[in-house]
Amino acid sequence: MAESGGSAPFIRIENVTKKFGTFAAVDNVSLDIGKGELFALLGGSGCGKTTLLRMLAGFEMPSAGRIFIDGQDMAGIAPYDRPVNMMFQSYALFPHMSVEKNVGYGLKHERNMTAGDRRDRVKQMLDLVKLTELAGRKPHQLSGGQRQRVALARALARQPKLLLLDEPLGALDKKLREHTQFEIMNIQDRTGITFVVVTHDQEEAMTLASRIAVMDRGVIRQVGTPTSIYEYPASKFVAGFIGSINMFEGKVTAATKGEVEADVPELGGKVLLASDAVAEKGAAITVAVRPEKIAISRARPKGGNAFPGTVKDLGYFGKDSLYRVKMASGTVVSVNSVNAIRVREDQRVAQWEDKVWLSFEPSSALLLTQ
Amino acid sequence: MPSWFNTWFNRDGWSKSIIAIPYFWLVFFFLIPFAIVVVMSFAERTATSPPVGFLPDFPYVTFENYGRLVGDWVYIRAYSTSIINAFMATILCLIVGYPMALGITRVNKSWRNILLMLVILPFWTSFLLRVYAWIGLMGSNSWFNKLLTAIVNSVLPADMAFRNIPMMNSNFAVVLVLVYSYLPFMILPLYANLEKLDTTLNEAAMDLGSRPWQVFKDVTLPLSIPGIIAGGLLVFIPASGELVIPSLVGNASDPMIGRVINDEFLTARHWPMASAVAVALLLLLVVPLMAYNHFEAKAQAGGKP
Ligand SMILES: Nc1ncnc2c1ncn2[C@@H]1O[C@H](COP(=O)(O)OP(=O)(O)OP(=O)(O)O)[C@@H](O)[C@H]1O
Ligand SMILES: [Mg+2]
């Protein structure tokens, strides 16, 4: 992906593989990350996110491949010599040191700082994470969220060129999590430090990151901006991993430049897709449509891509409603519609067991081949 | 059984009975005997059996035994010999045992169990046998002594060379055998402590710029202080009252306090004096311990704003 800017990338991961025994936790991964990016590694449990991060920090050596940070080959460079700081999944605060000592720990290795400089920096960091009042406490006297902020301040204190965050918000409640997400984005904005954030929460990745890499079993499946990952997933795996999506098997019946017509028995008819993908007539494809891109109506809408079905389930969530509609083929389609106008229950678009029509724009449907 | 008993027993009688066992043990086998010893230390030696009696008039007790304790050079010297020997042994056990305990935590699981087995393996042969083995090793004609002599002579000028090194019947021998005998008591609590430490703390320190030695100094060492203290007490306390090792390999004219108690009790049949020596030894060991606990508790409570 060329979105990281024209000049040489800040981090270059070249064909990196990490094997534990014969098992490849990270399998031939190549990735470029630009300076000042907030980059997210997203993937399910055990897909190798932490392992990749630990290789950047220097705690694991790649079995094959090379890693460059700021143009420098990291092979054989110990963690304490890398311009990198890491915030650990478990925070790893020193239990015998006060908050202040924890935050200042990395600074004692900064030769060109005076004692006064160090004190100022610690104070500045504590201000940043709003922990000035708790400077004298030990980690066991803090709440989970406070500990997490100490860990963040400690990792930031040395002003590294690269900051690695391993599931930084995993232990926080929803509200504190959202608050801290904004804090992290703020800090990133002000300091210009390059961030690599590991998460298994796709919403978190979408909110935080300027770019996301989706990982699966040690392999990177797609890299892109949140929008491109969500709207233009390259594979069924990525489409299914990010948000929810309806997927139907089909066969191409006609293909012109920019437009593909496919027969989709599950929906009970022909589907028109706006797609640049080169599809040959007769090829098996997958048609994917996100629930919020499907319109639901009682009357048959004008135009193509309209299919009849029966409402089997209905969930009301306040700002939107979720319908589960059963098609003639038996396939169930999820539809998400925003409750843009206020109506009483009996005035809803559809009720249980109602016959409805589902429709979507040709440009809203995705054509996936893998 | 009366019904109130059944009710009580089912409610919390079980847990109370179980908790009571160690308390009974402590009372019957420690507190009461210790009280007897304390009382006896204020008595006089008599020609009766047992050879203990109190004064006929008020105040009935005598402080003469304790007076001798602080006035008589023999006792002061025995106490200092004991404390110095035990202290040396504790420090050496720590120096030898710490790297061993740390090493055991850094190998994989199956090796760990083998190494721990090796640490406690010496317990499977008789303690006395092992001390006798050391007597053999330290004797002037043993290979061990010859080896040491050769090493020492290799750094000394030729005209100062030793024929052999007189090791037996010295405090050196006592400390050597104390270290050998008590080393497992240092290693095991240290290992238990070090094994629990979270290794990601080491990684965090390294990530923040510390080299391995500094990581040890800043993280591992301070977090292992409870293990050092536990191991230190387990070595120091029994070593300072040790009787067998100094009797077998030590210098009879510079006895440790265990030997003095033994001699007072059996040879001189001065039970009150033996009791006073024992009580003073206990105070000598317990008071610093209680002071430590006190400050430790204070340090724990501190730090709160
Ligand atoms: N030291 C190790 N030895 C053997 N296997 C390991 C080791 N570390 C990790 N693995 C394996 O490598 C795989 C990837 O692990 P990793 O910790 O990178 O996952 P993750 O993506 O961070 O998962 P999570 O979201 O659960 O933290 C897992 O299957 C794990 O079992
Ligand atoms: Mg992980």
SS (H, E, C) chain B: CCHHHHHHHHHHHHHHHHHHHHHHHHHHHHHHHHHHHHHHCCCEECCCCCCEECCCCCCCCCCHHHHHHHHCHHHHHHHHHHHHHHHHHHHHHHHHHHHHHHHHHCCCHHHHHHHHHHHHHHHHCCHHHHHHHHHHHHCCCCHHHHHHHHHHHHHCCHHHCCCCCCCCCCHHHHHHHHHHHHHHHHHHHHHHHHHHCCHHHHHHHHHCCCCHHHHHHHHHHHHCHHHHHHHHHHHHHHHHCCCHHHHHHCCCCCCCHHHHHHHHHHHCCCHHHHHHHHHHHHHHHHHHHHHHHHHHHHHHHCCCC
pLDDT, position B58: 72
Q: How far is the CA of A45 from the centre of ligand 1 (A)?
A: 8
A92 and A231 co-located in one domain: yes
Give me the sheet containing A246-256, strands edge to edge: A269-274, A259-264, A246-256, A284-289, A366-368
Tokens of A317: 């969530």
Q: Fill in the DSSP letter of residue A301.
A: P
Atom of ligand 1 nearest to the CA of A51: 18
Smallest CA separation from ligand 1 atom 30, residue: A46
Ligand 1 pocket member A48 (CB < 6 A): yes
Q: Is the distance from the beta carbon of residue A59 to the nearest atom of ligand 1 less than 6 Å?
A: no
Q: Is the model more confident about B3 or about A335? A: A335
- Nearest-by-CA chain B residue for A107: B208
CATH of residue A203: 3.40.50.300
Tens-digit pLDDT profile for residues A204-255: 899 889 999 999 999 999 999 999 999 999 999 999 888 889 999 999 998 8
Question: Is there a single domain that holds both residue A250 and residue A338?
Answer: yes
- Give mean pLDDT, residues B215-232: 93
Query: Which pLDDT does position A370 carry in this prediction?
Result: 80
Q: What is the pTM of this model?
A: 0.80
Q: Are residues A175 and A198 in the same domain?
A: yes
Cross-chain Cβ contact A106/B303 below 8 Å: no
In the structure, what pLDDT confidence band is assigned to residue A360 with cuts at 50, 70 and 90? very high
Q: Which residues of B touch A20 (CB under 8 A)?
A: none
CB–CB contact B201 A86 (8 Å): no
pLDDT of A58 over the 90 cut: yes
What pLDDT does A344 receive? 81
Residues A98 and A78 in one domain: yes
Alpha-carbon span A365 to B280, nearest angstrom: 90
Point out the ligand 1 atom lying closest to the alpha carbon of residue A89.
Answer: 27
Cβ contact (<8 Å) for A137 and B206?
no
Let me know whether A110 and A203 are in one domain.
yes
Q: Which residue of B has its CA nearest to A94?
A: B201
Which residue's CA is the nearest one to ligand 1's atom 22? A50
Boundary-marking domain end, from A205, A240, A275: A240
pLDDT at B1: 65
Is the same domain home to A76 and A49? yes
- Which range, of A21-35, A108-122, B156-170, averages the lowest pLDDT? B156-170
Q: Is residue A5 part of a domain?
A: no
Name chain A contacts of B204, Cβ cutoff 8 Å: 86, 88, 92-94
Averaging pLDDT over each range in A130-144, B38-52, B161-175, which range is the top one? A130-144
Same domain, A129 and A264: no
Which among B204, B209, B218 is the nearest to A88, CB-wise?
B204
Q: How far apart are CA B134 and CA A33, in angstroms?
A: 66
Question: B282 CA to middle of ligand 1, Å?
Answer: 54
What local confidence, expressed as pLDDT, does residue A302 receive?
85
- A155 to chain B, minimum CA–CA distance in Å? 8
pLDDT at B300: 63
Cα B291 to Cα B282, B285, B286, B295: the distances in Å are 14, 11, 9, 6
CATH of the domain at A337: 2.40.50.140
Q: What is the pLDDT of residue A7?
A: 60
Tell me, yes or no, whether A71 lies in a domain. Answer: yes
Q: Is the pLDDT of residue A3 over 50?
A: no
Mean predicted confidence (pLDDT) in B49-69: 82
pLDDT value at position B14?
79
Distance A52 CA to ligand 2 centre (A): 9
Pairs of residues, one from chain A and one from chain B, whose beta carbons lie less than 8 Å apart: 62
pLDDT grade for B166, boundaries at 50, 70 and 90: confident
Number of domains comprising chain A? 2
* Ligand 1 binding pocket includes A50 (Cβ within 6 Å): yes
State pLDDT tens for residues A267-315.
888 898 888 777 788 888 899 999 999 999 888 888 888 999 999 998 8
Residue of B nearest to A135 (CA): B305
Q: Is residue A151 part of a domain?
A: yes
Would the pLDDT of A30 be above 60? Answer: yes
Whether B5 shows a pLDDT value over 80: the answer reads no
Please report the pLDDT score of residue A2 as a whole number: 40
CB contact under 8 A, B204 and A98: no
Q: Which of A88, A121, A165 to mutate to test the interface with B (most CBs of B within 10 A)?
A: A88
Give distance in angstroms: CA of A157 to centre of ligand 2.
23
Residue A104 domain-assigned?
A: yes
Angle at A192 between CA A186 and CA A193, to 5 degrees: 100
A84–B305 CB contact, under 8 Å = no
CB contact under 8 A, A158 and B201: no
Residue B16 pLDDT: 80
Q: Ligand 1 pocket test: pick from A17, A51, A86, A241 the residue with the most ligand atoms within 8 Å of its Cβ.
A: A51
Residue A199 CB less than 6 A away from ligand 1: no
Position A351 confidence tier, pLDDT thresholds 50, 70, 90: confident
| Distance between Cα A42 and ligand 1 center (Å) | 14
pLDDT of residue B303: 41
Which range marks the domain in which residue A261 is found?
244-368
Residue from B198, B202, B207, B223 to probe the interface with A (highest A Cβ count within 10 Å): B207
- Do the Cβ atoms of A248 and A77 come closer than 8 Å? no
pLDDT higher than 50, residue A124:
yes
Whether residue B154 is predicted with pLDDT greater than 70 in this model: the reply is yes
How far away is chain A from the Cα of B113, in angstroms, using its nearest Cα? 23
Mean pLDDT, residues A46-54 taken together: 93
Look at residue A3 and tell me if it is in a domain: no
Which of B201, B209, B303 lies at the smallest CB-CB distance from A138? B303
B299 C-alpha to ligand 1 centroid (Å) = 39
Residue where a domain stops, chosen among A240, A258, A292: A240
Interface of B with A in 208-247 (CB under 8 A): 208-211, 218-219, 222-223
A1 confidence band (pLDDT: 50, 70, 90): very low
Whether the per-residue pLDDT at B3 is higher than 80: the answer is no
**What's the B109 CA to ligand 1 centre distance in angstroms?**
19
Give the end of a domain, one of A240, A264, A288: A240
At residue A4 the predicted structure's pLDDT band, cuts being 50, 70 and 90, is very low
What's the gap in Å between the CA of B208 and the closest CA on chain A? 5
A124 and A248 part of one domain: no
Residue nearest to atom 20 of ligand 1 (CA): A46
Residue B189 pLDDT greater than 70, yes or no: yes
Q: How far apart are CA A75 and CA A161, in angstroms?
A: 18
CB of A218 shorter than 6 A to ligand 1: no
Q: Which residues of A touch B219 (CB under 8 A)?
A: 94
Which residue from B204, B210, B303 is facing A98, i.e. has the nearest CB?
A: B303
**What tokens were used for B291?**
């002071």
A15 and A150 co-located in one domain: yes
Lowest-confidence pick of B5-19, B185-199, B224-238: B5-19
Average pLDDT on B92-112 reads: 95
The percentage of chain A sitting over the pLDDT mark of 70, rounded to a whole number, equals 98
Mean pLDDT of the B87-115 span? 95
Q: CA dihedral in degrees (A135, A141, A144, A148; nearest 10)? A: 30
Q: How far is the CA of A49 from the centre of ligand 1 (A)?
A: 8
Q: How many angstroms separate the CA atoms of B144 and B141, rounded?
A: 8
The verdict on A135 and A23 lying in the same domain is: yes
Enumerate the domain spans of chain B.
Answer: 66-303
Closest CA of chain B from A162, distance in Å = 12
Q: Which of A17, A23, A50 to mutate to test the pocket of ligand 1 (most atoms within 8 A of CB)?
A: A50
Task: Please tell me the distance in Å from A83's CA to the nearest CA on chain B.
Answer: 9
Q: In this structure, which residue's CA is closest to atom 6 in ligand 1?
A: A20
Which residues are placed with Cβ below 5 angstroms of ligand 2, an ion? A 50
Class of domain B66-303: mainly alpha
B263, with CB counted inside 10 A (0-12, 13-18, 19+), is: middle
A168 cis-preceded (ω within 30 degrees of 0): no
Do A90 and A204 fall into the same domain? Answer: yes
Q: Are residues A94 and A20 in the same domain?
A: yes
